[in-house]
Amino acid sequence: MPDASHTPNAAPVETDVAIVGAGPVGLFAVFELGLLDMKCHLIDILDRPGGQCAELYPEKPIYDIPAVPICTGQELTDRLLEQIRPFNPTFSFSQQVEGLEKLADGRWRLDTDAGESVIAKVVVIAAGGGSFVPKKPPIAGIDAYEGGSVFYAVRRMEPFRGKRLVIVGGGDSALDWTLNLQPLAERLTLVHRRDDFRAAPDSVNRMRALAAEGTIDFRIGQVSRLVGSDGRLSHVLVKADDGAETEIACDALLPFFGLTMKLGPIANFGLNLHQNLIPVDTERFETSTPGIFAIGDINWYPGKLKLILSGFHEAALMAQAAFRIVFPEKKLRFQYTTSSTDLHNKLGVAEK
């Protein structure tokens, strides 16, 4: 996976193009921009690339990618990451862009909720339907523990070392973090409302093996109550189908109940909106604000189709327009990847 490590509150990341959203369309934009020598940094609220494809339906088949009769959401993500590897994009995961500011030198500064900043000549919004927001479990008083003992995403694993962890959920995120955090935790309990999972079979099998050997605990039921003080949990109660409650010692609760999509802070970027989407022109896919583009499901124009392949087309035209902003002194020379030696060298496929 491309570099995803940046220290919060460090010096701003400087790049040619900042891409908000690391789903398929955002990833393919890296390829189109890279062919034109533009460096990219991507910011995503999820903890991995792939957007909806990787998070919501990693194993769901996709049938309308040109020349690929069938692939899963995760397979598409993996292939796109392989395709953009020659351009060395950098990533900021598990954070959301909260502020956008035009600097005196004409560049844009994007600030995230994790304290990072990115400065770029061009901004591309490829955030799908908007930002992914974690679904909260319906547990009374949970707000008081958020950020101290309740976490909806794992930004760094080390803070959970030596802790008594309770993970709730039955999807890929819950199973992945169960497997990844188990070696660090003092004790880890996975709670799910039924003995059936929506996660990758291999992950489920590995979790069951750990439970069988007593390395982790698996409880069928739902977290019904939180107990603690001053924002710190001491234990949680899990209610089974028969109404019986079990007390589990807990320092940190990690509920993974899926995600909902909201436009989020993008709505405050000063862009003209159309029914919560961003209108663009169909020549450049630029928004009402020069230098800010929108591609993929987040944008709107007459005849818009919310398809991944449409987003790929939009990324190609956007890159041509972005080049003229990033390199105003250069002449844009259109080339085909099939015949251009220059592009072959960039892609690392030139014949020796």
Helix intervals (H) in the chain: 24-35, 51-55, 73-84, 172-181, 201-212, 308-326, 341-347
Task: Name which of 55, 74, 127 is nearest 297 in CA terms.
Answer: 127
Most confident among 128-132, 219-223, 255-259 (mean pLDDT) = 219-223
Predicted confidence at residue 261, as pLDDT, reads 57
The DSSP output letter for 232 is: E
8 Å CB contact between 298 and 129: yes
8 Å CB contact between 93 and 156: no
The DSSP element (H or E) to which 189 belongs, if any, is: strand 187-192
pLDDT higher at 144 or 352: 144
8 Å CB contact between 150 and 127: no
**Per residue in 182-193, pLDDT tens?**
999 999 999 999
Predicted confidence at residue 69, as pLDDT, reads 94
Determine phi and psi for 315, rounding to 5 degrees: -65, -40
Residue 234 makes CB contacts below 8 A (sequence gap 6+) with 227, 228, 249, 250
**Per residue in 204-243, pLDDT tens?**
999 999 999 999 999 999 999 999 999 999 999 999 999 9
CA 86 centroid distance within chain: 21
Question: What kind of fold does domain 136-257 have according to CATH?
Answer: FAD/NAD(P)-binding domain (3.50.50)
Residues written for the chain: 352
Compute the C-alpha angle 234/237/242, nearest 5°: 170
Cα–Cα distance, 145 to 107 (Å, whole number): 39
**Per residue in 108-121, pLDDT tens?**
999 999 999 999 99
Q: Report the predicted TM-score, pTM, of the whole model to 2 decimal places.
A: 0.66
Domains 13-132+260-347 and 136-257 share a fold: yes
Percent of the chain with pLDDT over 90: 74
Lowest pLDDT segment from 37-46, 94-103, 217-226, 308-317: 94-103
Predicted confidence at residue 46, as pLDDT, reads 84
Instruction: Quote the tokens at residue 316.
Output: 């190609």
Listed by start position, the domains of the chain span 13-132+260-347, 136-257
8 Å CB contact between 185 and 217: no
Question: Is residue 219 classed as helix, strand or coil in its secondary structure?
Answer: strand
What b/e string do you get for 193-204 counting C-beta neighbours within 10 Å, with b at 16 or more? eeeebebbeebb
Lowest pLDDT segment from 129-143, 206-220, 333-347: 129-143
CATH architecture of the domain formed by 13-132+260-347: 3-Layer(bba) Sandwich (3.50)
Instruction: Quote the tokens at residue 103.
Output: 């600097």
The DSSP secondary structure of 30-43, one letter per residue, reads HHHHHHTT--EEEE
User: Mean of the pLDDT values across residues 248-277?
Assistant: 77
pLDDT higher at 54 or 323: 323
Predicted confidence at residue 42, as pLDDT, reads 97
* pLDDT of 290 strictly over 90: yes
Task: Name which of 240, 187, 246, 256 is nearest 216 in CA terms.
Answer: 187
Looking up tokens 């909201």, which residue turns up?
262
Residue 352 makes CB contacts below 8 A (sequence gap 6+) with none
* pLDDT of 321 strictly over 50: yes
